[in-house]
Structure 1
Amino acid sequence: MTRKVIHPTGIERPYDQEELIVSKTDLKGHITYANDVFLRLSKYPEEEVIGAPHSLIRHPDMPRSVFKLLWDTIQAKKEIFAYVLNMARNGDHYWVFAHVTPTFDAKGNVTGYHSNRRKPDAAQIEKIKPLYAALLTEEKRHDNRKDGMQRGYELLLNTLKNKEVEYDEFVFSL
């Protein structure tokens, strides 16, 4: 199925601090569950979400290198916290503070992924925006998207190294 191109509107979708956005995916990142808050914020009906790639809500201003870090981490059977800019079906956006974890079966095998997201403080978003802008600029400098993502990823790792922190320490320090 071909998806229509959605353009950002620049309008932020409001939601309450207490709300919890939940989704689950299979090993390939296709959505297997989305709660009512996810559906309301994304403006997608459940029948269009289930089975779709989670990238369905990816905002074009979100660096791909951050998703590389996320996927590398959860595929290594570890949890990750990240600030993510999502885009609704109509082009509106909303920031989330995501906690993504692998889901395990009784034998310790990863069977999918689970993400809980909350509304971050505006001050935290203002602190992450310059880094994300730098990563995105680096990614766009390269004609090949995969090369751009890799260069952005290297910039992210070097930034963390220069700050002498691990990614989780950095995220929680904002």
Structure 2
Amino acid sequence: MNITQEIINEEVKWDKTKTIVSKTDVYGTILYANDVFSNTCEYSTLELIGEPHNIIRHPDMPKVAFKALWDALKKGENFHAIVKNLTKTGRYYWVITDFTIDKNEKGEITGYTARRKAVPDGVVKKIKPLYKTLLEIEKSKGEKASELYFNAYLNEEIGKNYNEFVVDLFEDETTKELEKNKRKLNLNWFFFSDYQE
């Protein structure tokens, strides 16, 4: 499938309480997509099956993030990533993806299952500048330079590998959002409850 699309700087509307699920073979060819995936990316299941998973790759995503993903999966390690995906109509959606490895009875890798959840806005605010920098390095100096910067950034600024960084960032921002919503709920109760004295 070859779709040339205009990129629209607009988030697609989707049910962020749901989980997007897809399965691929070892080469990243889509074998299964749940309805949440189809509805969110605006492709029908029929359009997705048999296509490379990068059909939804957004041009704002640096290649080094996917290199880190594939390096981990090929070593048999489960992996998490924060990803900006592209819809069929050119819109976007941000997710955290938990990649797990599917194996046959002999223990050989047969493919991958990806489960995606929406991320809090705080995650996007923190990861977007990093991805922008990586993309700029990639465009002007090449993918290797981007990878070297990425690894140095993780070592010097974060002190964790990408997988740990992503999981911790997601957990921290989710906790902050829950606390903020809890405080808002408490204030709403205080300001809008009926007092009978």
TM-score (normalizing by structure 1): 0.92
What's the offset of the Cα at 1:161?
1.1
Q: 1:4-19 alignment to 2 at 5 Å?
A: 4-19=3-18
Is the contact made by 1:75 and 1:102 (CA closer than 8 Å) also made in structure 2?
no
Question: Gaps spanning 5+ residues in structure 2: where?
Answer: 170-197
What's the offset of the Cα at 1:58?
0.4
Give the Cα–Cα distance (whole angstroms) in 1 for the partners of residues 113 and 18 of structure 2. Answer: 16
What's the offset of the Cα at 1:17?
3.0
Is the contact made by 1:25 and 1:114 (CA closer than 8 Å) also made in structure 2?
yes
Q: 1:95-174 alignment to 2 at 5 Å?
A: 95-142=94-141, 148-162=142-156, 163-174=158-169
Moved over 6 A (4+): none
* Bigger Cα Rg: 2
Give the Cα–Cα distance (whole angstroms) in 2 for the partners of residues 20 and 81 of structure 1. Answer: 14
Deviates more, 1:6-15 or 1:19-28: 6-15
**Number of residue-to-residue matches in the alignment:** 168
Query: Share of identical aligned residues, percent?
Result: 39
Amino acid at match of 1:170: F
Structure with greater helix share of residues? 2
TM-score (normalizing by structure 2): 0.82
- SS in structure 1 opposite 2:4? coil
- Deviations along 1:3-48, one digit per CA (max 9) or x if unpaired, are 1222211110122332100000011100000000100011111121
- SS in structure 1 opposite 2:50? coil
- SS in structure 2 opposite 1:141? helix
Aligned to 1:49: 48
- Deviations along 1:87-123, one digit per CA (max 9) or x if unpaired, are 0000010001100111111121100011000000011
Aligned to 2:37: 38
Give the Cα–Cα distance (whole angstroms) in 2 for the partners of residues 84 and 59 of structure 1. Answer: 9
Is the contact made by 1:86 and 1:93 (CA closer than 8 Å) also made in structure 2?
yes
Question: Gaps spanning 5+ residues in structure 1: where?
Answer: 143-147
